[in-house]
Amino acid sequence: MKKIVILGGGGFIGGHLGRRLKHEGHHVRICDIKKHEYFDHNEICHEFIVGDLTDPSVVKLVVEEGVDEVYQLAADMGGALYIFTGEHDADVMHNSATINLNVARECVLKKVKKVFYSSSACMYPEHNQLDSDNPNCEESSAYPANPDSEYGWEKLFSERLYLAYNRNYDLNVRVARFHNIFGPQGTWMGGKEKSPAAMCRKVAEQNEGGQIEVWGNGKQTRSFLYIDECIEAVLKFMESDFFGPVNIGSEEMVSINELAQMAIDISQKNLEINNLEGQDFFDKYGFKCPLGVKGRNSHNKLYKDKMGWEVSQPLRVGMEKTYQWILKQVENKAVEHSI
């Protein structure tokens, strides 16, 4: 049994990770600034500490001597609307960098045996993601650096921070770059949701014969990894001797309109896609359409070579489970509003 600390375990990936590690018999302590919205705490951990990890005294309290593994997932983050409008840039950089500065140092002081850091595909250079059909997100393409968001720059900085602690203080780190992870118990409304959840919600909320709004021309591409495969990939990476950075994502690239159509097909409703872009988007919302890069796909050769394992579940399988869960949330909300 390992003593495990999950920072940001009140969030989507951290909650799922906690559930898996607790189920495997490990002792799990979570710290997050908020409680988990969709998991009962007993299901995901033994101890849940509500605290702000930008405060070094909280990190000191949470990361104790004798901890085997720390999973650092806490970040000020969200989907396209949160990270590409520029509205939250200063907070995203300040909050996430401060958390990472606190955590890396504390892990050295407390002699934590292994630390996982969740970076993002958003750290890859924009110039390699301009062609929606042929993006390049191979790990070796990271430099010269040119991320298209401050969120991506912070991730790049923090990757380097953990790797520097590895070189100078022997901190045993594992750095992964997640590519759009999705699934049940994730953010599905409120402005921080990513496209898979947004498509499922918009479809679930629509009546037969209606329209769903998709930002941009819908030709921008992404790949999406289902949460269970993400957790499996993280744990296999932690067991390996390789410390990365390595991509954790799917290589099944689709356009956003294909993703939207998939959600529509799953619902078995007859709905149209309304692509809202440019001036039309601005006229409706008063700010530029948050699009991000034109194309992005995970490149999994390094992960396969080092871990001898690959993700394999088709996107459609994960989208079906996610749609059913979001449909339930939408129905519950409707009931809430009606009483």
So which residues are the catalytic ones? 151
Provide the token pair at 313: 């579940």
Phi, psi for 289 (deg, rounded to 5): -60, 125
Residues 6+ apart with CB under 8 A from 235: 20
Assess 292 for contact with ligand GDD (CB under 6 A). yes
SS3 for 16-58 is HHHHHHHHCCCEEEEEECCCCCCCCHHHHCCEEEECCCCCHHH
Assess 99 for contact with ligand NAD (CB under 6 A). yes
Assess 53 for contact with ligand NAD (CB under 6 A). yes
Q: Tell me, residue by residue from 176 to 215, as one string, x for binding to ligand GDD by CB under 6 A and - for no binding.
A: --xxx------------xxx--x---------------xx
Alpha-carbon separation of residue 338 from 324, 326, 333, 335 (angstroms)? 21, 18, 9, 5
Q: Which of residues 181-200 bind ligand NAD (CB under 6 A)?
A: 181, 187, 194
| Binding test (CB under 6 A) with ligand GDD, winner from 54, 95, 220, 247 | 220
Candidates 117, 256, 126, 113; CA nearest to 180 is: 256
| Binding test (CB under 6 A) with ligand GDD, winner from 83, 248, 264, 311 | 83
Tokens 């479809």 correspond to what residue? 203
> Residue 107 and residue 72: Cα distance in Å, rounded?
11
| Binding test (CB under 6 A) with ligand GDD, winner from 291, 302, 307, 327 | 291
| Binding test (CB under 6 A) with ligand NAD, winner from 3, 4, 8, 129 | 8
Considering CB distances under 5 to 8 angstroms, the limit depending on partner class, which of ligand GDD, ligand NAD, none binds residue 33?
A: ligand NAD
Considering CB distances under 5 to 8 angstroms, the limit depending on partner class, which of ligand NAD, ligand GDD, none binds residue 290?
A: ligand GDD
Candidates 41, 57, 56, 55; CA nearest to 6 is: 41
| Sign of the torsion formed by the C-alpha atoms of 159, 162, 166 and 167 | positive
Considering only the stretches 10-18, 40-48, 126-134, 282-290, report the one whose residues sit in contact with ligand NAD under the rule CB under 6 A. 10-18
Secondary structure percentages of the chain, helix, strand, coil, to 5: 45, 15, 40
Residues that bind ligand NAD (CB under 6 A): 8, 10-14, 32-34, 52-54, 73-77, 95, 99, 118, 120, 178, 180-181, 187, 194
Binding site for ligand GDD (CB under 6 A): 77, 79-81, 83, 120-122, 151, 178-180, 193-195, 198, 214-216, 220, 222, 256, 290-292
